[in-house]
Structure 1
Amino acid sequence: MATDIKDVAHAVDAASVMRLLPARPRLLALGEPTHGEDALLDLRNELFRQLVEQEGYRTIAIESDCMMGLVVDDHVTSATGSLDDAMARGFSHEWGVSAANRELVRWARAYNEGRPASERLRFAGVDGPLEITGAASPRQALTALHGYLAARVDAKLLPCTATTLDRLLGADDRWTDPAAMTDPARSVGQSAEAGRLRLLADDLVALLDTQTPHLVTADSPDAWDRARLYGRTATGLLRYHHWMADTSPARMTRLVGLRDQMMAHNLLALADRGPTLVHAHNSHLQREKSSVRMGGVRLEWWSAGALVNARLGQEYAFVATALGTIRHRGVGTPTPDTLEGLLYALPQDRCVIDAPRLAAALGDTRPAPRVSPWFGYAPLDPAHLASIDGMVFAKDIAQS
């Protein structure tokens, strides 16, 4: 079978990826099957450089807190703060300690030096202010949206004062209690104060919309984009907290779906801005339903990629990453009957795979699903092959 698929393997570069697609997509999604491996992030960085230089891409977006990402964007575009500060305050999920992420930010800042604003690279986080252990307080996004509107519209149109918001929000640790993820009774998301905040957030977003003709001319496009980000994040977080307090069997399914919905809304906003490379886990970017086992229960939901694909069609492209070994994580050589095993037999250490042609070459026979011995790595589902535009295959992942 390895002989049959050699024709679908190409060098890992932007040109090879673009040849797989009917046209340059507004959103090019590069997935990864595991987090925290700089070898995969180095591949991402090199592809982004080539996409910038050859295809006119100007934004890179990663699976990190969308509000924290503004710190990195300010550094990259305007040299605000130091590189150390951008890495310390601009990433969630501890991504700021990654040498590859640091190199990405350093390179983007150097690229922008002396360039006009229209040609500068941009950075974005696309995840909500969420961690696996809980969610952030809506304070930052909600007060930033209120402050933006208070400075630009008639005060009589505001649904509340900043003091009212502060009183309803209360202490932030009420919102961030880690115990609320497993105990709905510990969540404040369905309290009277939270219910009132959801209505006020909705009113503030509605005011933002009704004042659009004035606001888009009264300030810079970046300020307008950020105000809409504040609105999406505030309403999304309040919705997420509401369902954290839910006690129904659908609670966790709803939460994982809401997280990807927030990611999808951020991705669609970036697509409006211009060609963007987005890098996140394969499960967030695939067109098929995503699934995970949590507490012995299988959860299924539509990923951000599936939601965006439904809106953008061919202007969304998904290139998954598959890998052979992560020996320092206990992931050894894949067996020959798996998809990764077939690709591991290829002579290249790194290659781009034409996934539709590979699916056609395999015909009705699909490789066996690979089973990972390590929870942090999710092998590619062979049943998804036909819905993937391409794959990047990395044979062996060395320890960072």
Structure 2
Amino acid sequence: MATDTTDLTASLPALRAGRGVHSLDAAAVLRLLPGPRPRVLALGEPTHGEDALLDVRNALFRQLVEEEGYRTIAIESDCLRGRAVDAYVATGAGDLDEVLAEGISHGWGAYAGNRELVRWAREFNARAEDEGRPAAERLRFAGFDGPLEITHADSPRQALTALHTHLAAHLDADLLPCTAATLDALLGPDEPWTNPEAMRDPARSIGRHPEAIQLRLYADELTSLLDAHAPHLAAVSTPEEAETARLYARTAVGLLRYHHAMADTSPARMSRLCGIRDHMMADNLGALAARGPVLVHAQNAHLQREKSSMQMWQGRVEWWSAGALLSARLGDAYAFVATALGTIRHQGVDAPPPDTVEGLLYALRRSPVLLDPARLADALAGAAPAPRVSPWFGYAPLDPGRLSTIDGLVFVRDVERGTEVREGREGRGSGAG
């Protein structure tokens, strides 16, 4: 039951007196965390594509780079396509507009905040090159999502054939389970793999056809070879080649697993698909964290420690998020800072009701701010905040019952309409949903 407005309003002095409200900066974020500098620092967002939220991310990343030694940022984008952005950040080769369009999936390369992130990272690396700083001191960019959209999944062709090519270049042919020609024949044309009708109709998926099942076996064998011959492959490959081969292996296995689940006719189908996607995310982030601390930015639901849920066409689905999986693996080396917001008026999200946590924070009249969730919970002791209900499907409000499971809370008071940049022209844009 919702408390009355007076109860939450009365919590403001206690929140301020308890030093639960801070200016948002990297040092303040790290002071809130239970352990030393985390290997994965996750910054969530409650909606996609809003430049106000991307600006907060960019400012925090700059401070983490300049003051805390972070060198990698990962965003919720295709892990294979992201390699093009990483190459641009490293060398400056290519056209920035084309890199953003091709290297950031879901159309999010069009947002000014993402463009600014890539531009700044390239400028940082250019200065590092001029100063003769070692490669380890330069910035890296990564997508950590699978090659997936809500409408379809990619063919496993790119990942599987690239993995085979890497192994064929360094191992005896007799060790390989198949030839490149065999893989090509089993893969067939890409259109059946990417058929958008398969997302809603399992009968349209080819994920359980005999060819797909054989490809899963080959992907498993090729990945096993990558592991079994790691000492030799490390000696004959560059670290970058070895890292990329493992990315291809994870992606090939994950995509084939995803396509197999797309052909599932059981009620658990969509929960299984969401879980496979986040499992791929977690594995990619774990690999990135192995080379140094990483800031990851994605929807709160992909980064939280509890089970995530969503209402879809077949009903409610639940799955363990990438954040939940990483928290179980890394312990205090994983940290999650959620973001909540007040208004997105261009999407019909007006000022939050005063009996919600967002309503209480809106009354602070400061933005952006960083909240200590434990002190916020103490200030709310005895109150029962109502869960906020969004009139727009693309925004997920804060769950007041989960304050104890987050390490920090960023609050952005008002989100104005963002700016898209497409083919050199500016236009008005909104969240990607």
TM more than 0.5: yes
Q: Which residue of 2 aligns with 1:105?
A: 118
Q: Aligned to 2:43, which of 17, 24, 30?
A: 30
**Aligned counterpart, 1:177:** 195
* TM-score of the pair, normalised by structure 1: 0.98
* TM-score normalised per structure 2: 0.91
Matching residue of 1:5: 15
2-structure distance, mates of 1:374, 1:263: 26
Q: C-alpha displacement at 1:130, in angstroms?
A: 0.4
Letter in 1 for 2:175: L
Structure 2: how far apart are the matches of 1:77 and 1:236?
A: 27
Q: Tell me if structure 1 keeps the 8 A contact 2:365–2:413.
A: no
Distance of 1:281 and 1:63 partners within structure 2: 8
Q: Which residue of 1 aligns with 2:206?
A: 188
Equivalent residue, structure 2, for 1:350: 368
Residue in structure 1 matching 2:322, options 299, 304, 309 = 304
2:239 aligns with 221
What secondary structure is seen at the aligned counterpart in 2 of 1:164?
Answer: helix
CA RMSD of aligned residues (A): 1.0
Task: Quote the offset at 1:361 in angstroms.
Answer: 2.5
Q: State how far apart, in whole Å, the 2-side matches of 1:79 and 1:156 are.
A: 40
**Mapping 1:249-260, distance limit 5 Å:** 249-260=267-278
CA displacement 1:6-55 (0-9 Å, x = unmatched): 22111111111011013110000000000010110011001000000000
The corresponding residue for 1:77 is 90
Q: Residues 283-325 of structure 1, C-alpha deviation per residue, up to 9 Å, x if partnerless?
A: 0000011011112611111100000000000000000000000
2:349 paired with 1:331: yes
Residue 347 of structure 1, CA deviation: 2.8
How far apart are residue 364 of structure 1 and its match? Answer: 5.2
Partner of 1:137: 155
Q: Do the aligned partners of 1:366 and 1:383 also contact (CA within 8 Å) in 2?
A: no
Partners of 1:296 and 1:240 lie apart in 2 by: 18
Match for residue 95 of structure 1? 108
Show the 5 A alignment for 1:1-400: 1-6=11-16, 7-21=19-33, 22-113=35-126, 114=129, 115-295=133-313, 297-363=315-381, 365-400=383-418
Contact 1:355–1:391, Cα closer than 8 Å, also in 2: yes
Partner amino acid, structure 2, of 1:18: L
Query: Which is bigger in relative contact order (C-alpha 8 A, separation at least 6)?
Result: 2
Residue 307 of structure 2 contacts residue 319 of structure 2 at CA under 8 Å; is this kept in 1? yes
Gapped regions of structure 2 (runs ≥ 5) = 1-10, 419-433
d(CA) in 1 for partners of 2:123, 2:266: 51
Structure 1 residues 192 and 365, CA gap change in structure 2 (3 angstroms): same
Structure 1 vs Structure 2: percent identity of aligned residues?
66
The Cα shift of 1:85 comes to: 2.1
Tell me, what secondary structure is at the counterpart of 1:323? strand
Distance in 1 between residues matched to 2:73 and 2:243, nearest whole Å: 16
Deviation of 1:397 (Å) = 0.4
